[in-house]
């Protein structure tokens, strides 16, 4: 699972380094195995050559003119009484001669200081007599050293066995071991150089292979529906990468076309919704205005003594409805207008107090964690945020309930935190996701633009607005924006 989390470039790099290491280990293992095989073949061949040469030398002694004794088993100790030492010294090997029953007849000086068997085992005698080559080699280890002992017949001129020739042989590997160590040392130096070259080549090759993929990945991560995306332009790439790049560029063309169509559709839908909302809100005051005019027209009497008071009442009614229509137009105008980022340095605590001065209600309480909290924000927009949130809280409190609204200003990390909490009816579960939508409202009056406008202002200043609500216990709105 951890390997899957590694990048393609890292995996290619590690794979190539691992390949070099495995190759070096494999070649070293093969070299050691080859050394062991050659060592065994060398000692085996050397023992055979020594045995052949000593056989030839001993036969010359047996058949030489200086030998006055009859060539038979009983005379072997006498014949080789002096010569066995000369032969052993010439060939640098210990020589033991046994009779055909396995009893020791004569031995050269024993340089290896090990006990000489005076009688051969039956296994040795049987192996010599029952094999076609009439030869047996015993191999064993003593004190960490490997010994071989060869047993073969010594024959006379008629090829009749007259004795058993035993040659103890110590496998001395000092020279071969030194050669192996020298070879492994040189191959280690060579592979260190190859490893360093492999690391450099693996790094460059993995970088080259993944360069195009990194470009494509960066472009894909930067792809956004709401902005114009650039196409990928890469050269000297493989056929697979070129296919991927062409597919991405084709997708960008289709995405751009879809984004244009989506933006056009969203604008048209927004204007339709806005037009429907404006028409709906304007119809509300137009109906009572029409009824007032019709009623005044039907009951108008120039001779009526109260005509002036009726005309005054009629005028007030029309002015009131006209003011309602004007407020509707202003609300939509304010919602559509993006707040300008003045970024003036101000004391948030002071401005929030100033915004609350227009409210005369004694159930509005203000607290601040500090006397002075400095931040960059537009004074007018901050006042609009506070007044809209407080008005929303006042309207959320039922008439039969003792109202309470608490505004708090504090800081957290490098952000300013403003909370407005009320003890109103709360937000229903099904309306949680609609609170900040334009034209959404649960009140009989108003157009549902206040919270949408607040969200618009706060997000313009890279802030956030959230709320928590509990049914019949109240709602708390939290505005967070950076100090700078």
Q: What is the 3-state secondary structure (H, E, C) of 354-388?
A: HHHCCCCCCCEEEEECCCCCEEECCHHHHHHHHHH
Separation between Cα atoms, residue 453 and residue 265, nearest integer Å: 23
**Of 446, 452, 416, 456, nearest in space to 434 by CA:** 452
For residue 171, pLDDT beyond 90: no
Q: Cβ atoms within 10 A of the Cβ of 320, count?
A: 13
If you average pLDDT over each of 17-31, 103-117, 428-442, which comes out highest?
17-31
Task: Return the pLDDT at 218.
Answer: 72
Among 97-106, 274-283, 383-392, 424-433, where is mean pLDDT lowest? Answer: 274-283
Predicted local confidence at residue 291, as pLDDT: 65
Q: Are 271 and 293 in contact (CB under 8 A)?
A: no
Whether the CB-CB separation of 91 and 55 falls below 8 Å is answered with no
Residue-level pLDDT at 373? 92
Tokens of 447: 């157009």
Evaluate whether 357 touches 384 at the Cβ level (below 8 Å). no
In the block, tokens 């939509």 appear at 332
pLDDT winner (highest mean) among 56-65, 147-156, 205-214: 147-156
Higher pLDDT pick, 303 / 461: 461
Estimate the crossing angle of helix 379-396 against helix 348-356, to 10 degrees: 50
DSSP string, 286-343: HHHHHHHHHHHHHH--TT-TTHHHHHHHHHHHHHHHHHHHHHHHHHHHHHHSPPP---
Residue 374: pLDDT band (50, 70, 90) is very high
Handedness of CA 157, 158, 160, 166 (dihedral sign): positive
Q: Which two tokens stand for residue 129?
A: 């007599």
pLDDT beyond 80 at 402: yes
Q: Which residues contact 143 (CB under 8 A, 6 or more apart)?
A: none
How many CB atoms sit inside 10 A of residue 105's CB?
Answer: 18
Q: Is the pLDDT of residue 152 over 70?
A: yes
Task: For the chain, give the percent of residues with pLDDT over 90.
Answer: 11
pLDDT reading at 225 higher than 60: no
Measured between alpha carbons, how far is 405 from 361 in angstroms, rounded to an integer? 10
Judge whether 198 and 1 are in contact, CB under 8 Å: no
Q: Is the pLDDT of residue 167 over 70?
A: yes
CA 385 to CA 442: how far, in whole Å?
Answer: 20
Indicate whether 21 pLDDT > 50: yes
Pick from 371, 358, 363: nearest CA to 407: 363
User: Is the pLDDT reported for residue 174 higher than 70?
Assistant: no
Q: What is the pLDDT of residue 365?
A: 93
Average pLDDT over residues 150-167: 88
d(CA 55, CA 48): 10
pLDDT the model gives residue 20:
79
**Which tens digit of pLDDT belongs to each residue from 227-280?**
566 666 666 566 666 777 777 777 777 777 777 777 677 666 766 666 666 666
Residue 452 has pLDDT above 70, yes or no: yes
Give 112's pLDDT tier (boundaries 50, 70, 90).
very low
Region of 472 please: left (phi>0), alpha (psi -120 to 50) or beta. left
Q: Which residue has the tokens 């969203």?
A: 266
- Strands 135-142 vs 145-155: parallel, antiparallel or unpaired: antiparallel
Q: Is the pLDDT assigned to residue 327 strictly greater than 70?
A: no
Query: pLDDT class for 418, splitting at 50, 70, 90?
Result: very high
Question: What pLDDT was estimated at residue 41?
Answer: 81
Joined together, the tokens standing for residue 412 give 């957290």
Radius of gyration of the chain (CA): 55
177-190: average pLDDT:
79
User: Is the predicted pLDDT of residue 335 greater than 80, yes or no?
Assistant: no
Q: How confident is the model at residue 409 (pLDDT cuts 50, 70, 90)?
A: very high
CB 60 within 8 A of CB 87: no
Averaged confidence pLDDT in the chain: 78
Give CA 5 to chain center in angstroms.
3
Q: Tell me how far apart the alpha carbons of residues 354 and 358 are, in angstroms, rounded to a whole number.
A: 8
Q: Would you state the structure tokens that stand for residue 376, as one six-digit string?
A: 């960059």
User: Residues near 174 by Cβ (< 8 Å), separated by ≥ 6?
Assistant: none
- Residue where the block lists tokens 């006379």: 156
For residues 66-72, average pLDDT: 77
E-strand ranges in 5-127 read 96-98, 104-107
* Alpha-carbon separation of residue 18 from 21, 118, 192, 373 (angstroms): 5, 59, 13, 59
Q: Is the pLDDT of residue 119 over 80?
A: yes
The pLDDT value given to residue 481? 92
- φ/ψ of residue 136, rounded to 5: -140, 135
Rounded to whole angstroms, the Cα distance separating 374 from 388 reads 22
Tell me the residue length of the chain.
484
Q: Which two tokens stand for residue 278?
A: 């404006």
Q: For residue 237, give both structure tokens.
A: 């790439």
Judged against a pLDDT cut of 60, whether residue 393 lies above it is answered with yes
Residue predicted with more confidence, 330 or 414: 414
State the pLDDT at residue 263.
Answer: 66
């Amino acid at each position: 699972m951890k390997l899957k989390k590694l990048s393609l470039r890292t995996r290619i790099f590690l794979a190539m380094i691992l390949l070099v290491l495995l190759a070096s280990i494999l070649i070293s293992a093969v070299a050691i195995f080859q050394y062991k095989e050659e060592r065994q073949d060398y000692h085996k061949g050397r023992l055979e050559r020594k045995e052949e040469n000593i056989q030839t030398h001993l036969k010359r002694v047996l058949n030489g003119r200086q030998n006055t004794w009859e060539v038979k088993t009983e005379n072997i100790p006498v014949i080789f009484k002096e010569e066995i030492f000369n032969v052993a010294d010439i060939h640098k090997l210990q020589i033991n001669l046994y009779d055909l029953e396995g009893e020791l007849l004569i031995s050269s000086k024993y340089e290896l200081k090990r006990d000489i068997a005076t009688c051969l085992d039956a296994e040795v005698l049987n192996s010599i007599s029952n094999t076609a080559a009439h030869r047996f080699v015993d191999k064993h280890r003593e004190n960490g050293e490997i010994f071989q002992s060869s047993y073969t017949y010594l024959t006379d001129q008629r090829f009749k066995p007259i004795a058993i020739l035993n040659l103890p042989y110590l496998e001395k590997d000092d020279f071969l071991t030194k050669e192996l160590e020298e070879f492994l040392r040189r191959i280690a130096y060579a592979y260190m150089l190859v490893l360093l070259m492999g690391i450099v080549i693996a790094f460059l090759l993995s970088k080259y292979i993944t360069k195009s993929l990194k470009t494509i990945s960066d472009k894909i991560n930067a792809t956004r529906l709401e902005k114009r995306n650039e196409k990928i332009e890469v050269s000297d790439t493989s056929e697979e990468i070129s296919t991927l790049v062409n597919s991405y560029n084709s997708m960008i063309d289709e995405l751009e076309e879809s984004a244009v169509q989506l933006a056009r559709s969203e604008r048209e839908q927004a204007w339709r919704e806005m037009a429907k909302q404006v028409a709906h809100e304007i119809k509300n005051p137009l109906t009572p205005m029409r009824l007032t005019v019709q009623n005044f027209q039907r009951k108008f009497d120039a001779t009526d003594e109260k005509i002036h008071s009726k005309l005054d009442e009629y005028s007030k009614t029309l002015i009131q409805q006209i003011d309602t229509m004007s407020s509707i137009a202003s609300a939509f105008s304010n919602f559509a207008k993006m707040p300008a980022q003045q970024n003036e340095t101000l004391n948030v605590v002071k401005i929030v107090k100033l915004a609350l001065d227009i409210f005369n209600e004694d159930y509005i309480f203000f607290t601040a964690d500090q006397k002075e909290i400095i931040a960059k924000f537009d004074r007018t927009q901050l006042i609009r945020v506070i007044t809209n949130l407080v008005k929303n809280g006042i309207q959320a409190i039922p008439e039969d309930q003792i109202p309470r609204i608490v505004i708090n200003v504090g800081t957290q990390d490098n952000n300013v935190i403003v909370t407005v909490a009320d003890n109103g009816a709360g937000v229903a579960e099904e309306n949680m996701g609609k609170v900040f939508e334009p034209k959404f409202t649960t009140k009989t009056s108003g157009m549902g633009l206040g919270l949408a406008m607040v969200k618009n202002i706060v997000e313009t200043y890279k802030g956030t607005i959230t709320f928590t609500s509990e049914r019949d216990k109240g709602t708390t709105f939290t505005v967070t924006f950076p100090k700078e």
